[in-house]
Structure 1
Amino acid sequence: MEKYKSVFDIIGPVMVGPSSSHTAGAARIGKIARQIFGEQPDQVDIYLYDSFAKTYQGHGTDIALVGGILGMEPDDERLSSSLKLAYEAGVEVCFVPKKEKASHPNTVKLRLKKGEHLLELIGESIGGGMIQVTEVNGFKIRFEIGVPTFLIIHQDVQGVIHCVSEILNNNDMNIGTMTVSRIAKGEQAIMVIEVDDKRGNLVLDKLRDIPNLHQVSFFY
């Protein structure tokens, strides 16, 4: 079995900043949070753990996270000005280094807010610019960038899962794995669906038309 999928697994990602884990990975975590949130937040609280907490300013983790939340890629030339750009856009940012240990040394919890709209996400930068998300709005999940994945936040009502599966089936998208969790019967729930191709963006509008879906995102 091949150890590396591409040359970028060996030399690392194209990026602005000194560290793939602390800069490129951080920017990707920020951008994932922005995609799930679906709009530019007014307020962002950033809780940093372990290595992130100790070196976030020196390694550019702060500018990378904020740049990602503003929608930037790791190689965006504007990344170094992200804090200034956030201020100019009216986005209030607060960094909170934490002393508690986390399951991974490069762990961050992002809390995005705009009015009543709130998102909490925990992400880990696992090396070489790669990341994984381990929690969304209190739901324990796990998905890595690189596998085509739908993340759907919805109300726990009968028929929602069937409607989602039917749309994917009608568009020839085979489901590899599906994980469904809920807070309680009838409360908020979440689906994480891995599919076999990268055409997920083609069905986002159809999925968003399903009643009782609060947020639909697609990543790969």
Structure 2
Amino acid sequence: MRFKDVFSIIGPAMVGPSSSHTAGAARIGRSARQLLGEQPAEAEVTFYGSFAATYAGHGTDCAIVGGILDYATDDPRIPDAIDLAAEAGVIVRFAEGKGLYPHPNTARIKLRSEAGRSLDMVGTSIGGGNIEIVEINGFHVKMTGIYPTLVIFHSDWPGVIADITQALKQQHSNIGYMSVDRKSRSGDALTVLELDTPITTTIIRQLEQCEAVHTIHIIDLNG
């Protein structure tokens, strides 16, 4: 990964002993929460690699649950996040995963809301509090959470990407990074766009006018 600035190296303001195992974990959990769009009723977290070996000692379990509760990395409630989740009626389960995983610090988060929404997301903590989200509901992506991010589920139709980028151009919003994946030709697709500017309601309204767009989600870990 190319670090964007000195803060990418020294890590964010945080609660916890490790930028990788606590701050990064909190950002992974918060990404999942923002993708779901509401507080979950159930959360299943599977740790892999180094996360699986040390999550209790490094507070990774508390940090990732804090993120799922939408706490920032420096929120003083993080050490008590598991108890606070229980008080809020959120059922949390932890597991240690086996087999292949994309990075030594990997977590798979499955969320379900009372309204029936669900999310299956894989994130990795790559150092200094930085993360990469590498899978969302079976789509392979690359998302850092450094910038305001649009996550757009849509049909794989000709011209959809052009419609999306045209809408952003009209709002003078520059794309810093784009990731696209699809399940099948002319099937379901996912586009992730990291932007240099804040995501406004006007941008969302314009994107919602695209016939092929199904749902739009915003991730803003710094806002």
TM category, shorter: 0.7 to 0.9
In the alignment, which residue of structure 1 is the partner of 2:194? 194
What is the aligned partner in structure 2 of residue 214 from structure 1? 215
CA distance in 2 between partners of 1:87 and 1:166 (Å): 44
8 Å CA contact 1:204–1:216 kept in 2: the answer is no
> Could you tell me how far 1:37 is from its partner in structure 2?
1.1
2:3 and 2:82 map into 1 onto residues whose CA distance is 38
**Separation of aligned partners in 2, 1:146 and 1:35:** 14
In structure 2, the gaps of 5 or more residues are none
How far does residue 5 in structure 1 lie from its aligned partner after superposition? Answer: 1.5
Q: Which residue of 2 aligns with 1:119?
A: 119
What is the alpha-carbon distance in structure 2 between the residues aligned to residue 181 and residue 17 of structure 1? Answer: 35
Identity level (%): 43
C-alpha spacing 1:218/1:209, structure 2 compared with 1 (3 Å): farther
Cα–Cα, structure 1 residues 158 and 10, in superposed 2: closer, same or farther, change >3 Å?
Answer: closer
Please give the TM-score of this superposition, normalised by the length of structure 2: 0.86
AA in 1 matched with 2:105: N
Q: Is the 8 A contact 1:36 1:215 kept in 2?
A: no
Q: Partner residue of 2:170?
A: 170
1:144 matched residue in structure 2: 144
Cα deviation for residue 207 of structure 1 reads: 3.0
Deviation per CA, 1:98-131, whole angstroms, max 9, x where unpaired?
2324221100000111253211111000011111
> Moved runs in structure 1, 4+ residues, more than 6 A?
none
User: How far is the alpha carbon of 1:208 from its aligned partner?
Assistant: 4.2
Of the structure 1 ranges 168-177 and 37-46, higher mean CA displacement relative to structure 2 is found in: 168-177
Q: Give the equivalent residue in structure 2 for 1:97.
A: 96
Match of 1:30 in 2: 29
Give the letter for the 2:103 counterpart.
H
> 2:173, 2:197 within 8 Å by CA — same for their partners in 1?
no
Deviations 1:127-154 (A, max 9, x none): 1111111111111111223244322122
Q: Judge conservation of contact 1:108–1:123 (CA < 8 Å) in 2.
A: yes
Instruction: Tell me if structure 2 keeps the 8 A contact 1:21–1:125.
Output: yes
101-110 vs 55-64, which moves further: 101-110
Structure 1 pair 210/75, CA: closer, same or farther in 2 (3 Å)? same
Give the total of aligned pairs: 217
Indicate conservation of the 8 Å contact 1:180/1:190, yes or no.
Answer: yes
The residue that corresponds to 1:67 in the other structure is 66
Which stretch shows the higher mean deviation, 182-191 or 102-111? Answer: 182-191
State the AA in 1 paired with 2:218. S
Whole-Å Cα distance in 2 between the matches of residues 162 and 77 of structure 1?
43
More displaced stretch, 80-89 vs 124-133: 80-89
Which range moves more in the overlay, 76-85 or 159-168? 159-168
Mean alpha-carbon deviation: is it higher for 137-146 or for 38-47?
Answer: 137-146
Pair 1:107 & 2:106 matched: yes
Shift of 1:3: 7.2
Query: TM-score, length-normalised on structure 1?
Result: 0.87
Q: SS of the counterpart of 2:79? A: helix
